Structure 1
């Protein structure tokens, strides 16, 4: 088909179809009118670049019903609601008129993982542009039918309206091929002053089922004929199954069967409690060989520094100037768990030689690939459907539970198999946030300006997600013995363990090195924020120490070293709203400040807080927190506040309580007593989040902006209250009390 006939065909479908379709179609073929040189095709916005057809994102039926698709998963971050608002805005319909379909390999575009605060920049941006182009196509269809200029028409409430009031519904205008066209780089987005949905707080659509006891989570799923499975995990990472006598378990009431595949061991029963009882008996009947494979937890930082490493340069710029004062310190972060309130769960059904898995995975397509490799199933025979799980930001046991269910379900065709992990399995086997060590040496010159910045970090990779079958416990433990992929050092814009290791503050030189550790003594993967939590904690602690050396207020010191105007605005907003000053506080009370721009290109977040330290018990009580966040154009301001409040509290828990204990054989923190988290009594009396809206600016994402600044602010408040710089996370009562006693003893010795 030549260009002229293509043009004629498109013109018959409506005027705006021509304007949206021709340039991209011709550019793809290298055809340019008049023989002019071929121009580069502009990049499509957001995730449209990976899934460019409009009907990958939006479908409108003849009855006017609308479905919007996103490959991102609702994890409690409210993204389902925000993307719904974006779609409704550009389609000119009410949100209730849209059915949202999320993360399903059988229906939605492949957007990889829901991670890195990328749902709004990638998926919401794609949906907004697709919706705007769909609206224009519909207007173009109506213009063609009425022989009117499209500019004289408007869309409203699911219809196109002519100047004389005549209407055509979307359902009457749509055809099976209308939206099966490739998106264009430029979309007719609504102007900021015309927005009705974007920028307004909307109640989250995922909340009602959660607060009314509805079927809100994968843990709540109940299907006809469903059976219940429990996996007997090895007692430790390196343990191997030597023998198991299943006779007693097979004879138990309700037991459907026992599954053994290499070191993978599970039991299936007709009722859940029967499955639990059978699991416990099966665990007693199993004989395992174990060996000591883990390091001495009391010397973990030294162990990490001594591991074989590959060094990667994250930043090397500028030349230092002479320093009048230098600060040097080492900071540590322990292994930390996701601590999901609901242990991992999945349901799988093997029927007609096809597998369907319902999982709270954060990546349905990567999970499809990994489970498919494990079971030797192609994507045409394996569907993974996201269902929310009860609590997680990162790579917890969700993918493993999905693989467990799929492996077991193949043995029981036609019966849905529900796998529910136990608390001790979640804590003992989920991938952990990696332990880290950082080393800072920074200086200021005689004028109080930063003169040099040198930073090193020791860390494993922060992502071992599926993809490969070796990322799954069932894959590793099955007789096929899929090996995990060897991690590789990668220095990227988004960062990994090195995320936020380069400060946003101005310095004449910045030298940042990641000592990448391939050996992973404990199983690790993505935990909210990746390396940003520990890196920002280290940087913000150092900034306060440099401010003290410069004899400058810590907020003023930060502002002095920020060139980014939006960064300054966030710092000033948090400080002003908090009432930041240098006025004396009551004894044992301190104020602290922390700031970062997540990944140095996503949301800006600043936090000011007040904390009280009990000198007898060592307990740190954060009393009041004030935060400011700029995540670009705010779609759902209340949702941004939700995310920031949640990040603040999660970081508070990490910073004061959380560290995974282990011995030379296994993880020993397998319940809430051995792995304590923040309790309600430790929640601040007041947490304020002030959203700085930037109409017309790109979406930046909000979910992981607060973790690092909160840790830095807590550390700085403790420093302000006690004069002590604590560098080892978490700041548990025992650790704070020991530091206070050591300081008191040193002072007595000096005075004596």
Structure 2
């Protein structure tokens, strides 16, 4: 592949798009805001209403679908093509997809918060349906028959007497420039030919055959390799470095130093690695012991200044009953991306093109334009898949590194690949958190009182602002750190899912937002939802136990949402809850992600080795309601992945640090779920909701799966452990207490 700025900007089509730059509404994780819709159009059409911003038809009848969202491994490409094919009545083989690219696609903010199918899929569905209607209307005019007598099929419009006009013969330059309308003639579920079918994912073949699947695999012609030397700790100041000696090494093109930003560009990758190591060895730094005591992190978090807000106040506090209370803690979590962050940048004609696995190419463009002092139209960001990127890992930072180094060697693409220790030490972690719950249950099994408090730093420190990037703070004229963002309810950040979906008559929830961040943190899959659901569902389990109720029946008693109850019942039935004695420990949990999107219930069976404290996950059964299902295999894949990720967080993961440095810089110091610890059986059952709106599913399982696992451990051991991770050592200590 040839990746030059000039050839890429030429693209494959002639459409030039214009996008709204209106101020965002209340800040959400997608970066697009909430509030009154400008045009009342469905999904992301409301921001970008032109139909040819989403659907283009070529003279040969080939269809290009465009999305501002990115494929992160969630199966988005396949799902969006299924949606478009269904409404266009065109074969999947004739469709191709362009994902997030600031030069070609709509600005849909970040690919985050399980919004991709909900927002972009909805936009593409309605755009495709309206394009189909326009093509039928065009054919009606040419054939001189009413549109009602025509139908779309197999990429063409068919009419009386065998009349057939292909889409490529119908489309004109102006036909699809129309703006979307509020109403669309959508295909009813009973007539689906593509939606709801388990279509194989188009991104998988290259990933399992060693093809060029990820940005880490790309090697465009003329490529230079680069490495950066990161400081040893937060706030470290570079005193001196022997850059000249490294620059004289054979194969080294340039050593770049700007303040404490330090990088090397070379002809070959191994040369770049050796030069990086020599450069690092010659550097002297001044460090400051500024980190809290890792052993007392929960206390350190609660001692920080906070901005407090009451996000739920219902009924009156202090209802009588048996009291259950406890404090739950979560450490900082690393993304643990299997492929360390990578980016490619090329500087030409006074501007830069960057290929990145960022989850937000438009916000990244704004950040890079600020960092490089360039107008936005001189910066183009193109998404390329990365080997592991749920939430904000080092992708945006690697893009900034690549752009700075490419500026120093214009005319050739520069590839920056982070090393493992850089990824583990410098990525933005999922923030440490504390949640405290106090509740009371009456003798007849009613929750009479509920108080939930959560302490959390920001979960949203992504670019936009240049100061969100590591390199922007390291250069000689640094940008100030980006201000902390408290994401708004109802989606929330650290307080995500802190409001229980259960109908508790007396309930109070307080969010203690912590503007200060002891360690660098930002978005990690499910944000605060994982710990808040853990705290809620663990406490609900303990309340049921205190009242002598079955945990599933207790949950159903306090749920008024019929779809929630159906998911709980489906998971319990499929698991065989209550039928016969458990071989070991059983746990159950439920949540509706953000109380807005997919419903998910999980049942878990575990065996705990009482000698070692090790947990074996015998069986997991999940039920999910995600509204209209595009690809059932994709839904199952996302729930299965969420279950495994939650198991890894719950049993193993914790960022380690001393008073100066992050110390968990390799896999031995940051253990994750291994194949030997994977559940022996995982089942996912979909509660079908045809003709209902799409609900985001990608992050629905983490909270319920983690909580169900914790409840199963409680059932197996007799002890409620509230400090994550629930390691074998902690379980053994509890059993021996």
Q: TM-score, normalised by structure 2?
A: 0.94
- Structure 1 residue 172 and structure 2 residue 169: aligned? yes
Matched ranges for 1:531-610 at <5 A = 531-581=528-578, 583-586=580-583, 589-610=584-605
Q: Work out whether residues 200 and 635 of structure 1, in 8 Å CA contact, stay in contact via their aligned partners in 2.
A: yes
Q: Work out whether residues 357 and 383 of structure 1, in 8 Å CA contact, stay in contact via their aligned partners in 2.
A: yes
Q: Work out whether residues 39 and 46 of structure 2, in 8 Å CA contact, stay in contact via their aligned partners in 1.
A: no
Matched residue, 2:104: 107
Change (3 A) 1:524 1:676: same
1:367 aligns to what SS in structure 2? Answer: helix
Matched ranges for 1:64-463 at <5 A = 64-320=61-317, 322-463=319-460
Larger Rg: 1
Cα deviation 1:230-249 (Å, max 9, x = unaligned): 00000001101111112321
Cα deviation 1:125-155 (Å, max 9, x = unaligned): 0000000000000000011111211111000
Matched residue, 2:725: 730
Deviation at 1:322, TM superposition (A): 3.2
Deviation at 1:353, TM superposition (A): 1.6
Cα deviation 1:47-89 (Å, max 9, x = unaligned): 0001010010011122212100000000000011000000000
Deviation at 1:618, TM superposition (A): 0.7
1 CA distance for matches of 2:90 and 2:486?
47
Q: Work out whether residues 253 and 265 of structure 2, in 8 Å CA contact, stay in contact via their aligned partners in 1.
A: yes
2:128 aligns to what SS in structure 1? Answer: helix
Q: Work out whether residues 314 and 491 of structure 1, in 8 Å CA contact, stay in contact via their aligned partners in 2.
A: no
Q: Work out whether residues 719 and 725 of structure 1, in 8 Å CA contact, stay in contact via their aligned partners in 2.
A: yes
Change (3 A) 1:498 1:477: same
Deviation at 1:171, TM superposition (A): 1.0
2 CA distance for matches of 1:125 and 1:235?
46
Change (3 A) 1:42 1:56: closer
Deviation at 1:739, TM superposition (A): 1.1
Match of 1:44 among 41, 46, 70: 41
Matched residue, 1:618: 613
2:162 aligns to what SS in structure 1? Answer: coil
Cα deviation 1:530-554 (Å, max 9, x = unaligned): 0000000000000100001110000
- Structure 1 residue 699 and structure 2 residue 694: aligned? yes
- Structure 1 residue 644 and structure 2 residue 639: aligned? yes
Matched residue, 2:24: none
Cα deviation 1:618-637 (Å, max 9, x = unaligned): 10111110001110000000
2 CA distance for matches of 1:148 and 1:41?
37
Change (3 A) 1:130 1:453: same
1:437 aligns to what SS in structure 2? Answer: strand
Q: Work out whether residues 321 and 508 of structure 1, in 8 Å CA contact, stay in contact via their aligned partners in 2.
A: no
2 CA distance for matches of 1:513 and 1:664?
30
Matched residue, 1:658: 653
2 CA distance for matches of 1:234 and 1:287?
10
Deviation at 1:584, TM superposition (A): 3.0
Q: Work out whether residues 466 and 482 of structure 2, in 8 Å CA contact, stay in contact via their aligned partners in 1.
A: no
- Structure 1 residue 688 and structure 2 residue 683: aligned? yes
2 CA distance for matches of 1:408 and 1:482?
18
Deviation at 1:680, TM superposition (A): 0.1
Where do 5+ consecutive residues of structure 2 fail to align? 1-36
How many equivalent residue pairs? 701
1 CA distance for matches of 2:677 and 2:413?
42
Matched residue, 1:21: none
1:694 aligns to what SS in structure 2? Answer: coil
1 CA distance for matches of 2:711 and 2:320?
23
1:143 aligns to what SS in structure 2? Answer: helix
Cα deviation 1:148-180 (Å, max 9, x = unaligned): 111110001111000211111111111111111
Matched residue, 2:4: none
Deviation at 1:96, TM superposition (A): 1.3
Where do 5+ consecutive residues of structure 1 fail to align? 1-39, 743-752
1:713 aligns to what SS in structure 2? Answer: helix
1:685 aligns to what SS in structure 2? Answer: coil
Deviation at 1:314, TM superposition (A): 1.2
Deviation at 1:41, TM superposition (A): 8.4
Q: Work out whether residues 355 and 406 of structure 1, in 8 Å CA contact, stay in contact via their aligned partners in 2.
A: yes
Cα deviation 1:202-241 (Å, max 9, x = unaligned): 1000101111111100000101111100000000011011
1 CA distance for matches of 2:278 and 2:182?
61
2 CA distance for matches of 1:361 and 1:208?
22
2 CA distance for matches of 1:155 and 1:323?
64
Q: Work out whether residues 312 and 489 of structure 1, in 8 Å CA contact, stay in contact via their aligned partners in 2.
A: no
Deviation at 1:320, TM superposition (A): 4.4
Cα deviation 1:336-385 (Å, max 9, x = unaligned): 00000000000000012221000000000000000110001112111100
Q: Work out whether residues 310 and 489 of structure 1, in 8 Å CA contact, stay in contact via their aligned partners in 2.
A: no
Matched residue, 1:25: none
2:716 aligns to what SS in structure 1? Answer: helix
2 CA distance for matches of 1:448 and 1:102?
51
Matched residue, 1:715: 710
1:43 aligns to what SS in structure 2? Answer: coil
Matched residue, 2:57: 60
2 CA distance for matches of 1:259 and 1:301?
40
Q: Work out whether residues 628 and 694 of structure 2, in 8 Å CA contact, stay in contact via their aligned partners in 1.
A: yes
1 CA distance for matches of 2:492 and 2:429?
18
Deviates more, 1:238-247 or 1:264-273: 238-247
2:508 aligns to what SS in structure 1? Answer: strand
1:332 aligns to what SS in structure 2? Answer: strand
2 CA distance for matches of 1:480 and 1:69?
38
1 CA distance for matches of 2:344 and 2:648?
31
Change (3 A) 1:279 1:575: same
Deviation at 1:42, TM superposition (A): 6.3
Q: TM-score, normalised by structure 1?
A: 0.92
Matched residue, 1:17: none
Match of 2:517 among 516, 520, 528: 520
Q: Work out whether residues 460 and 485 of structure 2, in 8 Å CA contact, stay in contact via their aligned partners in 1.
A: no
Matched residue, 2:17: none
1:342 aligns to what SS in structure 2? Answer: coil
Deviation at 1:446, TM superposition (A): 3.1
Deviation at 1:582, TM superposition (A): 6.3
1 CA distance for matches of 2:93 and 2:662?
47
